[in-house]
């Protein structure tokens, strides 16, 4: 039996997640359901894509990923299934699939067309669950939909290169549980324009001239403890997903604050890299 994952902005206070799971188990008593996250910011497609793109590769091929963020169907956001690198993604055509597959081409995409489907305000239950259970039973995509080629492309989330490659203007795409700020500037893009040049990373009124490999790489352990940088200092790293991330060393978002609160950064705020 295939694994079915759930990624939504439903939260856990209401009944919605329980209804989804109960419906899957009713259809497939032996189903394996994994919650990726139900705490996506409401309607935040970029955050959803960031979490999914960093999660799905850890699952075996054949896994079915239900995306319950901004899922109501409109003429611009058709319900689709995309087969990507052996994984199935069931979603509205919000641009989330394009963000997940930015560095690869989907093997197949179909527009969902269920003959008895009735439009309502809970399509994740009435459409996506039906399709996921069909695929989990070994059903083909051709049965639930027709070929689709018009994936939405959210170019607004891509970094901008200006001044003939001397500057990269990026933005905040995610703030994690520690208040660390993830930007949309990947290491490979940074390296391609940096070459052997120096750089300055501008964040609000702060300037950063070094990007670390790990959080602890920030500390120079050859110095006496009294002379070392310590908890509360600002640093930048390439995180495990190879994005530039801004952090406060050993921060606590619930007490002293994290990079997001201490720097006053929020989703879509701008940061800039200036190459010397």
Are residues 177 and 117 part of one domain? no
Number of folded domains that form the chain: 2
Rounded Cα–Cα distance for residues 36 and 52 (Å): 8
Q: Examine the fold and report which residue of 117, 147, 177 is the final residue of a domain before the chain moves on.
A: 147
pLDDT of residue 12: 94
Is residue 121 a contact partner of residue 90, using CB atoms and an 8 Å limit? no
Which residue range is the domain that position 263 belongs to? 160-275
Are residues 135 and 51 part of one domain? yes
In the predicted structure, residue 32 carries a pLDDT above the cut 80: yes
Are residues 12 and 118 part of one domain? yes
Are residues 164 and 117 part of one domain? no
pLDDT of residue 118: 67
CATH code (residue 217) = 2.40.30.90
Q: Examine the fold and report which residue of 147, 173, 196 is the final residue of a domain before the chain moves on.
A: 147
CATH code (residue 76) = 3.40.50.10790
In the predicted structure, residue 226 carries a pLDDT above the cut 90: no
Are residues 88 and 167 part of one domain? no
In the predicted structure, residue 119 carries a pLDDT above the cut 80: no
pLDDT of residue 257: 82
The verdict on residue 15 lying in a domain is yes
Q: Examine the fold and report which residue of 125, 147, 169 is the final residue of a domain before the chain moves on.
A: 147
pLDDT of residue 126: 92
pLDDT of residue 110: 97
Are residues 185 and 141 part of one domain? no
Are residues 143 and 208 part of one domain? no
**How large is the average pLDDT for residues 52-62?**
95
Among the listed residues 28, 22, 149, 7, the one whose alpha carbon sits nearest the alpha carbon of residue 89: 7
Lowest mean pLDDT among 28-37, 147-156, 172-181: 147-156
The verdict on residue 153 lying in a domain is no
In the predicted structure, residue 222 carries a pLDDT above the cut 70: yes
The verdict on residue 54 lying in a domain is yes
Are residues 95 and 11 part of one domain? yes
Q: Are strands 108-112 and 79-84 parallel, antiparallel or unpaired?
A: antiparallel
Burial class from Cβ neighbours inside 10 Å (0-12, 13-18, 19+) for residue 142 reads exposed
Could you report the per-residue pLDDT of 167-193, keeping only the tens digit for each? 999 999 999 988 999 999 999 999 999
Are residues 175 and 124 part of one domain? no
Are residues 195 and 60 part of one domain? no
Are residues 135 and 8 part of one domain? yes
Are residues 218 and 121 part of one domain? no
pTM given for the model: 0.88
Could you report the per-residue pLDDT of 193-216, keeping only the tens digit for each? 998 899 999 999 999 999 998 888
If phi > 0 it is left, if psi is from -120 to 50 it is alpha, else beta; for residue 242 that is: left
Could you report the per-residue pLDDT of 237-264, keeping only the tens digit for each? 999 999 999 999 887 777 778 899 989 9
**Per residue in 47-67, is it b (16+ CB within 10 Å) or e — as a string?**
bbbbbbbbebeebeeebbbbb
Q: Which of 34-43, 117-126, 147-156, 243-252 has the highest mean pLDDT?
A: 34-43
């Amino acid at each position: 039996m295939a694994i079915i994952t759930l990624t939504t902005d439903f939260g856990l206070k209401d009944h919605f997640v329980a209804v989804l799971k109960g419906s899957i188990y009713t259809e497939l008593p032996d189903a394996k359901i994994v919650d990726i996250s139900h705490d996506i910011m409401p309607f935040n497609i970029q955050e959803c894509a960031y979490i999914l793109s960093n999660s799905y590769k850890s699952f075996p091929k054949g896994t079915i990923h239900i995306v319950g963020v901004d899922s109501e169907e409109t003429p611009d956001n058709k319900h689709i299934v995309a087969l990507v690198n052996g994984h199935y993604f069931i979603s509205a055509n919000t641009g989330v699939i394009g963000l997940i597959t930015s560095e690869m081409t989907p093997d197949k995409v179909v527009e969902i067309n269920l003959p008895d489907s009735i439009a309502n305000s809970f399509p994740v239950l009435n459409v996506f669950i039906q399709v996921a259970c069909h695929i989990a039973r070994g059903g083909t995509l051709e049965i639930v939909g027709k070929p689709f080629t018009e994936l939405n492309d959210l170019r607004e989330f891509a970094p901008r290169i200006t001044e003939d490659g001397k500057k990269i203007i990026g933005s905040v795409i995610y703030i994690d549980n520690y208040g660390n700020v993830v930007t949309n500037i990947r290491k490979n893009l940074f390296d391609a324009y940096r070459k052997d040049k120096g750089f300055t990373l501008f964040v609000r009124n702060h300037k950063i001239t070094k990007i670390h490999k790990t959080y602890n790489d920030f500390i120079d352990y050859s110095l006496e403890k009294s002379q070392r940088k310590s908890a509360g200092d600002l640093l930048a790293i390439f995180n495990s997903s190879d994005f530039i991330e801004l952090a406060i060393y050993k921060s606590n978002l619930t007490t002293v604050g994290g990079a997001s609160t201490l720097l006053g950064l929020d989703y879509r705020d701008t940061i800039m890299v200036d190459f010397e």
